[in-house]
Structure formats: structure tokens, C-alpha cells
Amino acid sequence: MDQAVTGSQDELMARIDAKRDDLISLTQALIRIPTLNPPGDCYREICEFLDTRLKEHGFETELVRATGTPGDSDRYPRWNIVARREGAGAGDCVHFNSHTDVVEIGRGWTRDPFGGEIDGDLIYGRGACDMKGGLATSIIAAEAFIEVYPDFQGAIEISGTADEESGGYGGVAYLAEQGFFSPQRVQHVIIPEPLHKDRICLGHRGGWWAEIETFGEIAHGCMPFLGDCAVRHMGAVLERFETDLYPAMAARRTDMPVIPEGARQSTMNINSIHGGQPEQADDYTGLPSHCVPDSCRIVIDRRYLAEENHAQVSGEVEALLKDLAENRSNFRFAMRELNHVAPSMTDRTAPVVTTVGKSVQAVLGKAPDLVASPGTYDQKHIDRIGKLKNCIAYGPGILELAHKPDEYIGVQDMLDSAKVMAHTLAQLLLPREAPRT
């Protein structure tokens, strides 16, 4: 441990404890801004709130609208904020990136989803854990660090970005395209997603989404032999998934430390299936007409491993369909890619991983678990567009609560995580003495 870190480490930790009330009210204030996505509401409002807060603590801020990205309109503009606090001299820049959007409320709440209610140690609300609690935690950590070490070296950045819950194109992807995440500007990125205070998330699996359609021929339902049933053709596709694709995917294991364990293999969800007549509204009282369906569609959601690649993943589904076209009479299909996200996996020996790891050990007295996420988050854009490989997710909160009713964040977890983040800043941004042997 560096002398500089241990020297006033106690003061830094005490400073964070002293900010407990500030942390609670900041988290509540963020939850009370209903940044629902879709449609992408209140992005400007939350950016202005963060702008005021961070300027008071010596940050220079930029509000950036991701004009022309999906969903951006004058009614629902995609606003982002990037705040930067320069230190007293040259050094690395540590960037904390949090998304400001939250998913729909859903049913089953017993608390006000935008009330920011506190009960004991827990603060409730949509986005409490995913991830306004993490955003508040990183702000408190940075402010405490700056107060104790005003002469630190390098820079601290905090961003609040739009649209993570819908792919991040109006948020981190846009900012990365504008150069905000280039390795020349930023050296270390921490995304305070709710992975838990003692876990470091190295990255995530990839995803490939596609629509498959099978075709038939319409005819009277009483003489189906005069037509060709597209739903039966889709049945053949699903059967081949069961006999060929699912067993092949289940046999592929990854070195990525994905949690939960079940996601340490390739997986595929079938999101939807529809064939034949359009479904009618619930209050429709008519009876179906009698037709052989000439079209059936499914949407698949294939999650893949760092050991696989995009061409292989789409290729094996296409090969299966082509095989059916050769061997099943009248089988015709179309396949259309809907979206693709490459996997991202930061090296276990990357500086941000080892540094946060040391801070978890110092603050919590245990080695961190290194994990990877089953689903994607904004690291993909920082990696692929920004070309910045030194990036992790680390933050307070319980991942399983994300997107659930009565979502909450624990105050003590946030304080502990803030200490880890501040300790990390001390390791990365304080002048180092000659390493002791």
C-alpha cells in the first residue's frame, strides 16, 4: 500500500461516513426524477440536477444531446452529462459512468416507485439499485476524495447517460463516437451497476437477436392439403432447435466468470411466436375464419460467449434453416438480424481491476469476486467504439432486484461501495512514492 494512501486513509473513510445524510438525500432526489425509458422522459431535468450539483464541487460540465439517435425527438431529447474535475497536475483520468434511465414501473409495488421512501437502511424506488444508488455513490466518493485531497493528480469524470436500458445508442455509444471515451482522454472506467459491493464485473456475454419467418400457402381450413401450413414448418424449426441447437449450445462452456452459473454456457430464448391470423383485442367477440396460415414468425434472443463470434452464432442458425430447406418439402424461410452486441471482457490483470480489487480488500477485508454479466450493459460501447479496454462494472446493490417491484438500495452498501471507490481514487490519483520492496 502506498504511503500516501494509508497516510490519511482514515480521514477519507471518515469523510464518507460523515456524508451519510447527503448520500441518502442525493439518492432520493435522483429517484424522484422519473426518467422512464421508454419513452426517455426527464433526461434534461436529471442532467440539469447533476449539472448544478457537480458544478458546486468544482466540476466542469458539458450537456450533450444525442441528436438523431433512436427515440431522440424534441419531445424526448436524449440528453447526457459529462462532468470533469481537473486535479493539480498531470495524471490519469478516472471516469464513473452511470445511466440515468430506468425501466417501466410494472405491477406489484407496495411503495411509491418515484417516492424515494426510506425505511430503516433501505431506500425504495424504480432505479434505486439500477442504478441511481450507484450514481449517487460515485458522486459522494468523488466529492469526499476531492475534499480530502484537493491537490490530487489527473482528473475525475462523472457522466450520467441516457438509454442504457434500450441499448445505450443515445447515451454511451453516442458519447464514445464523439471521443468522450477515447484512451487519450480517459484511462480508467468504472460503471457503478448493481453487481454488489464486493464483486468486480469484468464484462458481459454477447447478444444476437433475429427474426425467423417460415412461409406457407393460404387455403381453406377445411382442405389444408390444398395449402401449406407455415406454422407446421416453424414446428420443424423448433424441433431442430431442440434436437440439434440447444444440446450444442449447452455443451459450450466459457472461461468468463459469468453469474449466475447457468449463464456460463451459450443460451437462447425464443421471445415470441406468431403465425396465421392476427390476434384480436381482448374484447373482440367474433370467431376465427378458417384459413391455413401462410406465415409464421419467431424472434430469438441468442446470448453468446467470448469464445464464440457473431458469424458463427448467426451461421449455425442459418445452416440449420438451409438444411431444412433442402430436406423438408416446400420449406421456405427468411432470417433477419434485429440487433447484435459483441461480448466484452476486460483482462483480469488490467489496472482498474487490480486497483479496485485492492480497495475491496482494504475496505471490506476480503478479496473481490471477479464476475461477468449474463446480459450486456454500456461496457460494450466503451470497448468497441471507445477502444478503451480498462473498464469494469463495480457498484452497490443487488442485481436480482433490478427491474423488479419494490426495488431498493441499502444505505450501508452504498457507503461501503463509496469507500471502495474513494480508496481506488486515492490509489490511482495520488502521487506515488517509490514502491517499497
Q: What is the C-alpha separation between 412 and 277, in angstroms, rounded?
A: 54
Helix (H, G, I), strand (E, B) or coil at 274: strand
CB of 397 to Zn ion, least distance (A): 9
Q: Which residue is it, cell 468486480? A: 200
> Is residue 131 a contact residue for Zn ion (CB under 5 A)?
yes
102 versus 249: smaller Cβ distance to Zn ion = 102
- Binding positions for Zn ion, 193-222, rule CB under 5 A: 193
Q: What is the C-alpha separation between 174 and 180, in angstroms, rounded?
A: 9
143 versus 193: smaller Cβ distance to Zn ion = 193
CB of 159 to Zn ion, least distance (A): 14
Q: Is 42 left (phi over 0), alpha (psi -120 to 50) or beta?
A: left
Helix (H, G, I), strand (E, B) or coil at 400: helix
CB of 130 to Zn ion, least distance (A): 4
> Is residue 128 a contact residue for Zn ion (CB under 5 A)?
no
The number of residues in the chain equals 437
Stretch that binds Zn ion, among 15-23, 100-108, 191-199, 261-269 (CB under 5 A): 191-199
Q: CB neighbours of 290 closer than 8 A, spacing ≥ 6?
A: 220, 221, 222
Q: What is the C-alpha separation between 146 and 142, in angstroms, rounded?
A: 6
β-partners of residue 188 are 94
Stretch that binds Zn ion, among 124-132, 261-269, 282-290, 390-398 (CB under 5 A): 124-132
CB of 190 to Zn ion, least distance (A): 14
Stretch that binds Zn ion, among 129-137, 148-156, 327-335, 346-354 (CB under 5 A): 129-137
User: Considering only CA atoms, which of 418, 13, 16, 424 is closest in space to residue 192?
Assistant: 418
Q: What is the C-alpha separation between 427 and 267, in angstroms, rounded?
A: 39
Q: By CB under 5 A, name the one of 101, 130, 213, 228 that touches Zn ion.
A: 130
384 versus 403: smaller Cβ distance to Zn ion = 403
CB of 176 to Zn ion, least distance (A): 17
154 versus 396: smaller Cβ distance to Zn ion = 396
Cis peptide before 38 (omega within 30 of 0): yes
Question: Which residue's CB comes closest to Zn ion?
Answer: 130
Task: Provide the pairing of β-strand 206-215 with 122-124.
Answer: unpaired
CB of 133 to Zn ion, least distance (A): 11
72 versus 130: smaller Cβ distance to Zn ion = 130
Which run of H or E residues covers position 189? strand 188-191
Stretch that binds Zn ion, among 36-44, 121-129, 186-194, 418-426 (CB under 5 A): 186-194
Residue 314 burial by CB count (10 A; 0-12/13-18/19+): exposed, middle or buried? middle
129 versus 317: smaller Cβ distance to Zn ion = 129
Stretch that binds Zn ion, among 146-154, 190-198, 343-351, 403-411 (CB under 5 A): 190-198
- Binding positions for Zn ion, 160-179, rule CB under 5 A: none
Compute CA distances 13 → 16, 200, 230, 241, 396, whole Å. 5, 20, 65, 54, 17
Q: What is the C-alpha separation between 187 and 285, in angstroms, rounded?
A: 62
Size of the site for Zn ion (CB under 5 A): 3
Stretch that binds Zn ion, among 14-22, 111-119, 188-196, 366-374 (CB under 5 A): 188-196
Where do contacts with Zn ion occur on this chain (CB under 5 A)? 130-131, 193
